[in-house]
Chains A and B, each alone.
Chain A
Amino acid sequence: AQKITQTQPGMFVQEKEAVTLDCTYDTSDQSYGLFWYKQPSSGEMIFLIYQGSYDEQNATEGRYSLNFQKARKSANLVISASQLGDSAMYFCAMREGLGSSNTGKLIFGQGTTLQVKP
């Protein structure tokens, strides 16, 4: 069964430094998608970045990049130049299947709380 594991319940980072949030996944599918979402204290879920299993290059979106290591089944989120506004819960998620077997379901990890210190 598909599973997402985020082993860091909480992380601290100094403002302006980079931080890596870990995510490992387990799937038997060859085609899948990996997502990161941010949930600030206000509660909304904000999409950050996406990586497809067949994408050869690591995804980047501004200060966010995804360190995708397919053989290790890891999809770590890297936030560069941390800002105070980055303090939030971060969720890694995987979508089962792509193409004809695309069920649309997202499976979420338990999340990592990031606190950025001034």
Chain B
Amino acid sequence: DAGVIQSPRHEVTEMGQEVTLRCKPISGHDYLFWYRQTMMRGLELLIYFNNNVPIDDSGMPEDRFSAKMPNASFSTLKIQPSEPRDSAVYFCASSYETSGLQETQYFGPGTRLLVL
């Protein structure tokens, strides 16, 4: 089975530009998570969805960040306008829900974003 798929794998952009990161979760998974990894802050949760509905976006840094999940097999994380401090690795992860319990999260390969 295919794992979590993320695109692009690498993105270099200039400050002020719009950036869109994409994620395809594992088929059948009920939860989708967006994480950001930086040297300074480590791994932090930005937002997560359950059955395509955003549940908790308290980790989204500011209004420049937005995330959508239009269907069960696709999610986007958008940064507009981008700033150099947004440079990080962005991970998407997904998991099952079984009998009301959320199972292990499986991560995609990540998108390395560099904002110049």
Which residues between 62 and 118 of chain A lie within 8 Å of chain B, taking CB atoms?
A: 91, 93, 95, 98-100, 102-106, 108-111
* Number of A-B residue pairs at CB separation under 8 A: 54
Q: Taking the complex as formed, is B55 at the interface, i.e. its CB lies under 8 A from any CB of chain A?
A: yes
Q: A43-B112, A45-B91 are in contact. Are A99 and B101 (CB under 8 A)?
A: yes
Size band of the interface chain B makes with A: 20 to 34
CA distance A91 to B37 in the complex (A): 12
Q: Which residue of B lies closest to A50 (CB)?
A: B104
Whether A91 contacts B43 by the Cβ 8 Å rule is yes
Q: Give 25 A-B contacts (CB < 8 Å), ordered by A residue.
A: A35-B105, A37-B107, A44-B108, A45-B93, A45-B107, A45-B110, A46-B107, A47-B104, A47-B105, A47-B107, A50-B104, A93-B43, A98-B101, A99-B101, A100-B100, A102-B101, A102-B102, A103-B55, A104-B31, A104-B33, A104-B50, A105-B45, A106-B33, A108-B43, A108-B44
Residues of A within 8 A of B (CB): 35, 37, 43-47, 50, 91, 93, 95, 98-100, 102-106, 108-111
